[in-house]
């Protein structure tokens, strides 16, 4: 069984969930793929700043307390930062001496049987049609280092609730949001290998391949043969 839902998450859900129920029409599936006997890493595609809310809603509805790796700057906002810390969210200090703090904090959550939610792309996708980009290798590294499952969770529809990089949500009429969890990604062949960049890249590509295939099924469309790579294509949309 999932761990008991902490009181702080129940309190947050009391205020936030009714809003989400009012502005979305939810199509949840795949909840049976979420492990209940161990910690795991939930990885999802990232199209809009509304994604964390719809992903958190999905996880909460399936008995999982949503713990996100979030930009450290969010924790500097007085009320928001206090709330994030109270809910065991993990600040990420990119490019600083404290970058490893996020990994250590995430490891503690995984070891006690909680889930970590990660957007492996690290930012909103720059693909013009909102397909997943080439991802960072952090989620794969954590999965291999701590021997936990990686569950791909594809979502589609949150971009109609809030445009990519938009600030004004479109609340009326309610938007259909599809969120689907797939089976844990098979990373067996990488678990005994050296943690070099080639291993991490291949493991990451395996994860993103699973996520993209699920999104193709949801959208009824085919993704580009080559994923958008910010190192190659740049950051523009």
Tokens 């969930």 sit on residue: 17
| Cβ–Cβ under 8 Å, residues 6 and 117 | no
What is the pTM (predicted TM-score) of this model? 0.90
| Cβ–Cβ under 8 Å, residues 142 and 90 | no
| Cβ–Cβ under 8 Å, residues 80 and 74 | yes
pLDDT of residue 103: 75
Q: Alpha-carbon dihedral of residues 4, 5, 6, 7, nearest 10 degrees?
A: -120
Q: How far apart, in Å, are the Cα atoms of 67 and each of 12, 186, 206, 230? A: 13, 23, 23, 27
Q: Give 221-227 contacts, CB < 8 A, sequence gap 24+.
A: 223/131, 223/132, 224/127, 224/129, 224/131, 227/127, 227/131, 227/132, 227/133, 227/134
Between CA 234 and CA 237 the distance in angstroms is 9
Q: Which residues pair with 91 in a beta bridge?
A: 70
Between CA 65 and CA 52 the distance in angstroms is 13
Between CA 213 and CA 73 the distance in angstroms is 33
| Cβ–Cβ under 8 Å, residues 101 and 91 | yes
pLDDT of residue 148: 93
Q: Which tokens hold the place of 131?
A: 């397909």
Q: Residues with Cβ < 8 Å from 76, sequence gap 6 or more?
A: none
SS3 state at 214:
helix
Q: Pairing between strand 69-71 and 90-92?
A: parallel
Q: Residues with Cβ < 8 Å from 38, sequence gap 6 or more?
A: 113, 148, 149
Provide block-wise average pLDDT over 10 residues at a time, the chain (237 residues): 74 89 95 92 95 94 86 64 70 64 80 89 93 92 92 97 91 95 94 87 96 97 91 65
Between CA 228 and CA 212 the distance in angstroms is 12
């Amino acid at each position: 069984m999932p761990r008991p839902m902490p009181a702080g998450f129940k309190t947050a859900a009391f205020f936030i969930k009714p809003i989400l129920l009012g502005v979305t029409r939810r199509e949840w599936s795949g909840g049976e793929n979420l492990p209940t006997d161990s910690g795991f890493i939930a990885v999802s595609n990232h199209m809009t700043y509304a994604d964390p809310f719809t992903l958190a809603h999905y996880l909460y509805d399936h008995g999982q307390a949503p713990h996100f790796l979030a930009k450290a700057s969010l924790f500097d906002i007085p009320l928001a930062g206090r709330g994030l810390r109270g809910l065991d969210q993990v600040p990420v200090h990119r490019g600083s001496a404290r970058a490893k703090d996020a990994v250590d904090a995430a490891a503690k959550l995984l070891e006690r049987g909680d889930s970590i939610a990660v957007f492996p792309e690290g930012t909103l996708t720059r693909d013009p049609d909102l397909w997943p980009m080439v991802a960072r290798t952090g989620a794969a590294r954590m999965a291999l280092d701590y021997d936990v499952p990686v569950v791909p969770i594809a979502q589609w529809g949150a971009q109609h609730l809030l445009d990519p990089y938009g600030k004004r949500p479109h609340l009326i009429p309610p938007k259909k949001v599809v969120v689907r969890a797939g089976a844990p990604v098979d990373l067996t062949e990488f678990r005994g290998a050296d943690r070099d960049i080639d291993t991490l890249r291949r493991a990451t590509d395996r994860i993103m391949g699973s996520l993209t295939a699920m999104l193709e099924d949801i959208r009824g469309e085919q993704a580009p043969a080559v994923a958008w790579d910010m190192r190659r294509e740049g950051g523009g949309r």
